[in-house]
Amino acid sequence: MEDHFVRNEIQRFLREDVGYGDITSDLICGDEEIDCHIIAKEDFVLSGLREAGIVFEELGAKWTSSLSSGDSVKKGDILMNIQGVSSNVLSAERLALNILMRMSGIATKVSKMVKLAGDTKVAATRKTTPGFRYFEKKAVVHGGGDPHRYRLDDMILIKDNHIKSAGGLEKAVRLAKKGSIYKKIEVEVSSPSRVSEAANLDVDIIMLDNMSIQEVEIAYKQIKDIDPGIIVEISGNINIDNIADYAPFADVVSSGAITHSVKSADVSMNII
C-alpha cells in the first residue's frame, strides 16, 4: 500500500514537472542508453533513496544502490547508479534530485537534534510543505525522530484557539473526551499559570508552548508531581541551538524548524 501511494504521488509530481514532454531532452538526447551516478557533494544523512529511485522507474530507467535511507554518507559517496534511455533519465533527474536533497536535508537536521537531545524524543510538527508532508515526515523518521501527527484525525490536540472557542480549558477537555477512547488527548499550555489546571484534567500529553527554560523546568516538575504518567512535550522556537537546554525538562521536544527551515543536501547526477 505504501509503495502504491508513493508511486501515485510521484506520478503527480512528474505531471507537474514534465508537462506534455521534456522538449529539451527529447530533441537533443535521443534514445541511446546511458549510465549515471548520483553523488553526495557533502556529508549528510541519506533520505529519499527509494522515492528517488521510483522517479527513474516511472520513466523506464533502472537503478541500484548499496545504501539505505538513514545511512550517513560522506562527500564523494555514490548514492545511486542509474541506467536508461538518456532522454528519460534526464527528464527524471531534477525531480529525483529534489526529493533526495529535501528529504536528506531534513533527516540530517533531525539527526543532529536527536544527538543533542539525549534521551528526549525529537518530534516534527504539521509545519510541512503542502502536498509533500508524507515525504517530509518519512525523512524525520530516517533522521531518528518521531513524525508526530500526520493528519488532524490522528489525535486530539487542544490549542489556545480551541480553548477560547470552547469557553475554557476544562470545558474543552470535557468535550474532547466525548470522542473516541482510542485517540490520545494533548493540551497546549502557553502560560505557566495554566500548568496545574491542565495536569489535573487527566489528559495524556501536555505541550508547554513558547516558555522559557526556567518556566519549563518548573512546569515539568509540577506536572510530574501531579501525574507522572503525563507526557510532557515542549514546543515553540525550538532549534538546533537551544534544544540541548530544553531537552532535560521534557519527554518530547517538537520543532517545526526540522521541516519548514532546512537546508537541502547537496547532490549531483553525472553521466559516466
Q: Which amino acid is at 249?
A: F
Cβ contacts of 78 within 8 Å, gap of 6 or more: 37, 38, 39
Q: Residue 248: what pLDDT?
A: 96
Which listed residue (112, 127, 183, 224) is catalytic?
127
Q: Where are the domains of the chain?
A: 2-107+263-271, 114-260
Catalytic residue flag (residue 127): yes
In 124-242, beta strands by DSSP E:
156-158, 185-189, 205-209, 231-235
CA distance 217 to 58: 51
Q: Which amino acid is at 220?
A: Y
Q: Residue 184: what pLDDT?
A: 96
Q: Residue 29: what pLDDT?
A: 87
- Which tens digit of pLDDT belongs to each residue from 204-248? 999 999 999 999 999 999 999 999 999 999 999 899 999 999 999
Q: Which residues of 5-26 are buried (b: 16+ CB within 10 A; e: fewer)?
A: ebeebbeebbeeebeeebeebe
Are the C-beta atoms of residues 195 and 188 closer than 8 Å to each other? Answer: no
Q: What is the pTM of this model?
A: 0.94
Handedness of CA 195, 200, 203, 205 (dihedral sign): positive
DSSP state of 40: E
Cβ contacts of 33 within 8 Å, gap of 6 or more: 83, 84, 85, 86
Q: Does the domain formed by 2-107+263-271 have CATH 3.40.50.2000?
A: no
Kindly state the helix (H) or strand (E) to which residue 111 belongs, with its residue range.
helix 86-117
Least Cα distance to 258 among 147, 101, 117, 131 occurs for 147
DSSP secondary structure string for all residues of 45-63: E---HHHHHHHHHHTT-EE
Low-confidence ranges of the chain (pLDDT < 70): 1
Q: Residue 2: what pLDDT?
A: 82
Q: Same CATH fold, 114-260 and 2-107+263-271? A: no
CB atoms closer than 10 angstroms to residue 262: 20
In 27-170, beta strands by DSSP E:
33-40, 44-45, 62-64, 72-73, 78-85, 121-123, 156-158
Q: Residue 59: what pLDDT?
A: 96
CATH superfamily of 114-260: Aldolase class I (3.20.20.70)
